[in-house]
Amino acid sequence: MTTTTTHDAVEPADGEAMYRWAQDLYPLHRSLTGPGVRATLDYLRGLLPGLGVHEVPSGTPAFDWTVPDEWTLRDAYVEDVAGQRVIDVRRHNLHVVGYSAPVDRWVSREELDAHLHSLPEMPDAIPYVTSYYERRWGFCVAHRDRVALTANRYRVVIDADLAPGVMNVGELVVPGHSAEEVLLSTNICHPSLANNEVSGLVMLAALARWSAGRSQPRYTHRFLFLPETIGAIWYLSRHADLLRERVVAGYVVTCVGDDRAFSFVPSRAGDTLADRVARNVLRHRATNVTHYSFLDRGSDERQFCGPGIDLPVCSVMRSRYATYPEYHTSLDDLSVISPRGLQGAFDALTACLRALDADAVYRTTVRCEPQLGRRGLYATLSDGRSALAPRPLLDLLAYADGTRDLVALADTVGMDVLDAADHLRLLGEHGLVTQTS
């Protein structure tokens, strides 16, 4: 019996390369819109030559929403009477509240304080704060630094434009033999946050490069780089019906860089092909997996799975957003993610994509068990004291009755979905199973 196991045959995703890309992308000052987003997409275009970039004008309606003005930040700081910058966005992108309106004046300590954000319970962390849809200005600081601001007056400067412009969305389609497709998305709006942003960017780039190298690409893969929420809503407002027709499975790719855990958030329906494949892969190929509910959702699956959209999209993550201590603070830096963490998520996600490409409904071609022995698939000398061997082939044959797709068949017999695909390929070569769909 010469079954090729696939456990060690995963295509080499270079966790080290992904980590280097992350180092390049981490410092860029992304937001919903603006030059940081474009710099990010420019960098990604270097990795993905075919990457297209949409420009959506401010004011464009999208379902219940409107694309906001573009935010261009040039500088942001608080200085004291001595001209010393006590808070300076050049030291950390998170120091300024995202989408802050321009300001330049002297304020009392009390007024300044009303515009400061910090986390008393995490005195060293700068929080991540935005105000996209209400004009405000503000600064974020480590609580330890905030309490040291004891002068009476400070000058607050936010040198920014908040004016009609564009929102950018990146998109890359890797065609397969089928027009049916798998949707993969990540966000491009978080400034200098490693696990909850940059890991997704480099993962989607790595997956797209891997996808383009598939030797027998079945499904078309659509990769979307979206400003969270408004980007997804705008994209769906244009393409929801097409996606509903074509998308067989999808994964929101975020928080895929640390090495502490795996996490799964199912689709709203909960048992789509995407969910079932992901659960099988995580069961057989991952450790320390936490299964969440769709009620624990937090990224663009909120839009992809919403009523009237209902795409089969779920999330395979490492440590889930809102659960790890560094989340949405300056502590979510490059030390949180690692080549090994990225590699683990890449392996799980490519296993899902490979399982989807291998999906089929199988039917055994013979009645009763076939004689595996004369085909070299079974030991001809029966001295085993086990009930049945070789279990995997016989179990697959027993349940390949034309009612189960690949992952359902693998789940029924308790196998890894890609192992099942390999075994079924072998059985197919011997004429013992056929694909019925």
Query: Of the two residues 157 and 317, which places its CB atom closer to a second copy in the complex?
Result: 317
Report, in Å, the least distance between residue 101 CB and a second copy.
Answer: 13
Applying CB under 8 A, among 29, 246, 276, 297 the residue interacting with a second copy is 297
| Rounded distance between C-alpha atoms, residue 127 and residue 327, angstroms | 9
Can you list the positions of beta strands (E) in 2-138? 52-57, 61-62, 65-66, 70-79, 85-88, 103-108, 116-117
- CA of residue 82 relative to chain centroid, distance: 46
Best CA proximity match to 408, nearest among 366, 364, 343, 360 = 360
Q: Which ranges constitute the DSSP H helices of 186-255?
A: 199-212, 230-246
317-346 residues near a second copy, rule: CB under 8 A? 320-322, 327-329
Record the tokens describing residue 331, joined without a space.
């502590």
SS3 336: coil
Distances (CA, A) of 70 to 57, 99, 115, 188, 226: 9, 9, 22, 14, 15
Determine, following the binding rule CB under 8 A, whether residue 386 of this chain makes contact with a second copy: yes
DSSP 197: I
**Closer to a second copy at the Cβ: 130 or 187?**
130
Site string for a second copy, 215-254 (x = CB under 8 A): --------------x--xx--xx--x--------------
Site string for a second copy, 178-217 (x = CB under 8 A): ----------------------------------------
150 or 386: whose CB is closer to a second copy? Answer: 386
Q: Does 360 bind a second copy (CB under 8 A)?
A: no
Residue closer to a second copy (CB basis): 148 or 388: 388
Residue by residue, DSSP assigns 287-330 as: SSEEEPPGGG--STHHHHTSTTT---EEEEESSPTTTSTTTTBT
CB nearer to a second copy: pick between 205 and 274: 274
CB count, 10 Å around CB of 382? 9
Q: Which of 117, 209, 239, 284 binds a second copy (CB under 8 A)?
A: 117
Question: Judged by CB, which is closer to a second copy: 206, or 274?
Answer: 274
- Opening angle at CA 248, ends 247 and 252, nearest 5: 70
Q: Looking at 101, 398, 405, 434, which residue binds a second copy (CB under 8 A)?
A: 398
The correct pick among 47, 72, 363, 408 for binding a second copy (CB under 8 A) is 363
- Of 255, 370, 243, 252, the C-alpha closest to 314 is 252
Report the site for a second copy in 364-383 (rule: CB under 8 A): 364, 366-371, 373-374, 380-383
Interface of this chain with a second copy, residues 134 to 153, rule: CB under 8 A: 134, 136
Which residue among 106, 133, 271, 288 contacts a second copy (CB under 8 A)? 133
- Minimum distance between the CB of residue 82 and a second copy, rounded to whole angstroms? 30
Residue from the set 24, 80, 302, 333 that interacts with a second copy by CB under 8 A: 302
Between 209 and 302, name the residue whose CB sits nearer to a second copy: 302
Q: Does 294 bind a second copy (CB under 8 A)?
A: yes
391 binds a second copy per the rule CB under 8 A: yes
Q: How far apart are CA 99 and CA 160, in angstroms?
A: 9
Q: Measured from the CB atom, is 357 or 416 closer to a second copy?
A: 416
Return the bridge partners of 355, or none: none
- In this complex, which beta carbon is closest to a second copy, that of residue 34 or of residue 339? 34
429 binds a second copy per the rule CB under 8 A: no
Phi/psi region, residue 63 (left: phi>0; alpha: psi -120 to 50; beta: rest), is left
For a second copy, give the closer residue by CB, 176 or 312. 312
> CA 417, CA 273: separation in Å to the nearest integer?
12
Contacts of 236 (CB under 8 A, 6+ apart): 62, 63, 243, 303, 304, 309
Other residues' Cβ atoms within 10 Å of the Cβ of residue 137: 18
CB of 427 to a second copy, least distance (A): 12
305 binds a second copy (CB under 8 A): yes
Residue 13 or 413: the one with the smaller Cβ distance to a second copy is 413
Which member of 191, 227, 231, 298 binds a second copy (CB under 8 A)? Answer: 298
Determine phi and psi for 129, rounding to 5 degrees: -130, 140
Q: Is 271 in the site for a second copy (CB under 8 A)?
A: no
Cα–Cα distances (Å) from 279 to 37, 267, 275, 349, 403, in that order, read 33, 12, 6, 11, 20
- Which residues of the shown chain bind a second copy in the complex (CB under 8 A)? 63-65, 97, 117, 127-134, 136, 229, 232-233, 236-237, 240, 268, 294-298, 302-303, 305-310, 320-322, 327-329, 363-364, 366-371, 373-374, 380-383, 385-388, 391, 394-395, 397-402, 413-414
